[in-house]
Amino acid sequence: MNAWLTHHRDSLLLALRRLAATPLNTLLSLLAIGIALALPAGGQMLLVNAMQLASGAAPTPQVSVFMTLDASRQAADDIGEHLRKRGDVRNLRFVPREETLARMKTAEGLGDVIEMLPKNPFPDAFIVDPKDESPAAMEALAREVRKLPRVEHVQLDSAWVRRLDALLKFGRTAVILLAALLGVGLVAITFNTIRLQVLTQRAEIEVSRLLGATDGYIRRPFYYFGTLQGLLGGALAWLIVSAAAWWLEAPIEELARLYNLEFALRPLAAPDSLILLALSAGLGWAGAALSLGTHLSDQ
């Protein structure tokens, strides 16, 4: 093993010894970091579950296309053929005017009124299931369908989609803002911890410089310390979120059953867990780098 790898190993072991040397301070620091990071991590978990619940409970958005009353069946067939060939249409259902008339006759209170009408007042219609259910894509589809001949009206069932999309965007923004604010807190904790270490080891650092140690050699154990502190704090945050998910699982399932919903609370997904650990380690390293740049240069 060459000298560079040996020093990295020794720096890592030294950082671990420093963490173990003050167990109470280390525990309190990890608790502060873990609780701070658990808030945005838990928010992300709840946001993902809310999206899952919304996609399962909300109706599928559709576009309803109504023909003119004087449109022939051949005109309706031509419109249907055009819609089936579109790449942005997933499914298409034709509703003939006769079917609508028969359904209205069976509706309570409407049968006698419908029988008195001289002719069928309902047009042929199509129910379109778009491939892309985003509000922008559905509105673009509706605009193009309105231009087709013999199309009287296009009803866009996307109001609830827009509201849901706006709500989820707000949730994502809130999670990002919370993560940014608490990430600054993690950097501040690491900054202060490294500052105290630099002050207490001032004599050792001066001796190392007199013996020819480079800045990289002196800084490396502090970098490992900050990274390990952040990583362990992130692991503690993951444990807190996982424990909360396990604790809330049964009450949430019971609540879902009361509303006839099939829903189970999912814990933090593997990609989100890895992002949490990577960000916590990176923020710990950043706090160490900021503290060393501010205080070690004065030594």
Encode pLDDT of 235-255 as tens digits: 999 999 999 989 988 888 888
Encode pLDDT of 168-227 as tens digits: 888 889 889 988 988 888 888 888 888 888 777 777 777 767 776 667 677 888 889 889
Domain end marker among 101, 121, 156: 156
Q: Are 21 and 150 part of one and the same domain?
A: no
pLDDT at 47 over 60: yes
Q: Are 132 and 147 part of one and the same domain?
A: yes
Q: Are 223 and 293 part of one and the same domain?
A: yes
pLDDT score recorded for residue 297: 60
Number of domains in the chain: 2
Convert the chain into a string of H (helix), E (strand) and C (coil).
Answer: CCHHHHHHHHHHHHHHHHHHHCHHHHHHHHHHHHHHHHHHHHHHHHHHHHHHHHHHHCCCCCEEEEECCCCCHHHHHHHHHHHHHCCCEEEEEEECHHHHHHHHHCCCCCHHHHHHCCCCCCCCEEEEEECCCCHHHHHHHHHHHHCCCCEEEEEECCHHHHHHHHHHHHHHHHHHHHHHHHHHHHHHHHHHHHHHHHHHCHHHHHHHHHCCCCHHHHHHHHHHHHHHHHHHHHHHHHHHHHHHHHHHHHHHHHHHHHCCCCCCCCCCCHHHHHHHHHHHHHHHHHHHHHHHHHHHHHC
Q: Are 47 and 67 part of one and the same domain?
A: no
Residue 130 counted as domain residue: yes
Encode pLDDT of 76-134 as tens digits: 888 889 988 888 888 999 998 888 888 877 776 666 676 777 788 888 899 998 888 77
Task: Tell me the pTM.
Answer: 0.69
Domain end marker among 156, 187, 210: 156
Q: Are 32 and 74 part of one and the same domain?
A: no
Residue 162 counted as domain residue: no
Residue 163 counted as domain residue: no
Indicate which CATH number applies to the domain containing 112. 3.30.70.3040
Residue 200 counted as domain residue: yes
Q: Are 93 and 239 part of one and the same domain?
A: no
Q: 284 is in which domain, residue-wise? A: 3-57+168-298
Q: Are 34 and 70 part of one and the same domain?
A: no
